[in-house]
Amino acid sequence: MSATQSDAIESHLAALGFDNRFAAELPADPESSNFRRQVAKACYSCVEPTPVTRPKLIGWSPEAAALLDLPADPGDGKALAEIFAGNRLLAGMLPIATCYGGHQFGTWAGQLGDGRAINLGEIVNKRGERWTLQLKGAGPTPYSRTADGLAVLRSSLREFLCSEAMFHLGVPTTRALSLVLTGEEVMRDILYDGHPAPEPGAVVCRVAPSFTRFGHFEILAARHDVELLRQLLDFTIATDFPHLDHADPRTRYLDWFDEVTTRTADMIVHWMRVGFVHGVMNTDNMSVLGLTIDYGPYGWLEDYDSDWTPNTTDASTRRYRFGQQPAVAQWNLGQLGNAIYPLIGEAGPLNAVLNGFAKRYTEGARAMTAAKLGFERYIPEHDDALSEELFALLGAVETDMTLFFRKLAQVDPGDLEGEPLDEAYYQPAPLDATYRKRRAAWLAAYARRAQIDGRSDNDRRAQMNSVNPRFVLRNYLAQLAIDKAEAGDYSMIGELLTVLRDPYSEQSGREEFAARRPDWARHRPGCSMLSCSS
């Protein structure tokens, strides 16, 4: 990189305007030493990232960089690697780790907090937008419990790619700015089978307006710290929901809870639309902004199975399975409602808001289903039975959900053979006559419904292709990128970012990135199920 390019990047970095409002307006932990402990009467602890030996930038999102007024081209990445690995703090940065609790797999877990996440600071960009920069994997904090606060390349690469893939799919999400190798190794037991092994370490820089979670409120309610609970909620509304800053506190809090409920319902509709399974929907992994947060053992629903979970820890109960995500979201919202109950004083208004989740989600899911089928709107008397039979068909044989909906747009109404759909099946040869007859009956019903809608075939296909992605971050694609990166080849990270930047287009010449899961990936760790090990 030329001296001019280097100077330009330094100039952009120096221009970042940090105001760190969270730290400025909320109480800090008075203990400055970095050791594991319970932190009370405070919303955060000051803690600096742990320096690493050989930081190397291997992933950079131009779109996320634009949010921060940073250049799309990272140049040689040396300065950026130093900063976004945590080795160098810019003027104005104030690194903190925040305190929160949460329900994990339905059980109250007490204090959790940012065990391996460190907020570098909050900036306000040239457009007046507030963005928090957060490093994940930059070392221990007071909330690390028995862990080391570090992260490995495989999980960091998955989070970096998926954050940006979800954004381009139109799913509300936190963003990922950078992926940096640390040059150090981290011990992890990936299968929890007593065989830990060293893995390359990495740090992701995540970006969001804020990283406030349901658990930030739960921990204060559990400790009966009502005044700090009120202070945190007033701050959250003023900072992230300024349009709700009414004079009457009770109305303000209920309106806030209603908006969090609405945003959460809308986010889950998008998850279901694209076949995303979060895998660990604990309350500490739920953003009050309705953003997908904490990409851990997530997965993409390749062969349609509403009972599938990507999380090995969840394998026995399947609490966080694909089809259960709306119900879990509502349960989590119930815990948030319990947390702010002391500020409302009665359960009735909170329950009324919570009960509205089902209506909002149902309406959203119906509109989403109609759009995926190319209809202008959802007509229950026709579409309830049509969609119920469709998802039964998808689950009856091993069917790639993404490919099926994409290929359905290519089927001409009245074509009861539906040959384009055959590409969506993992074992097309065994499709017996009974299944094909059942599919033909559904296609006939679909054709009749399309006639009722009255749209032209071109309009129907255009709508379907605008909501049914051609490309998603399939589990095996992420694993292939990990394999290459661990061998020192980072090219596939950029390739996938390029493809996933335009997920609804055909992208001639990139068909390999849309292919269904190969047989070798059926049971391989990282391609089928994942642990929380990171």
Distance separating alpha carbons of residues 287 and 210, to the nearest angstrom:
9
Distance separating alpha carbons of residues 393 and 306, to the nearest angstrom:
12
Q: How far apart are the first and last CA of the chain?
A: 33
Whether the per-residue pLDDT at 531 is higher than 90: the answer is no
For residue range 374-391, list pLDDT tens digits in order: 999 999 999 999 999 999
For residue range 416-442, list pLDDT tens digits in order: 889 999 999 998 666 899 999 999 999
Range scoring the smallest mean pLDDT among 5-9, 242-246, 264-268, 470-474: 5-9
Distance separating alpha carbons of residues 214 and 291, to the nearest angstrom:
12
Closest alpha carbon to 212 in 142, 138, 119: 119
Distance separating alpha carbons of residues 384 and 86, to the nearest angstrom:
52
Look at 194 and 145; give whichever has higher pLDDT: 145
Task: Catalogue the active-site residues.
Answer: 284
Mean pLDDT score, 204-224? 98
Statement: the pTM of the whole predicted model exceeds 0.85: yes
Q: Is 275 left (phi over 0), alpha (psi -120 to 50) or beta?
A: left
* SS3 track for 106-120: CEEEEECCCCCEEEE
For residue range 306-335, list pLDDT tens digits in order: 999 999 999 999 999 999 999 999 999 999
Whether the per-residue pLDDT at 67 is higher than 70: the answer is yes
Whether the per-residue pLDDT at 534 is higher than 60: the answer is no
Mean pLDDT score, 11-18? 89
Q: Are 311 and 532 in contact (CB under 8 A)?
A: yes
- CB-count burial class (<10 Å; 0-12, 13-18, 19+) for 352: exposed
pLDDT band at 137 (very low <50, low <70, confident <90, very high): very high
Whether the per-residue pLDDT at 532 is higher than 80: the answer is no
To the nearest whole percent, how much of the chain has pLDDT over 90?
A: 89
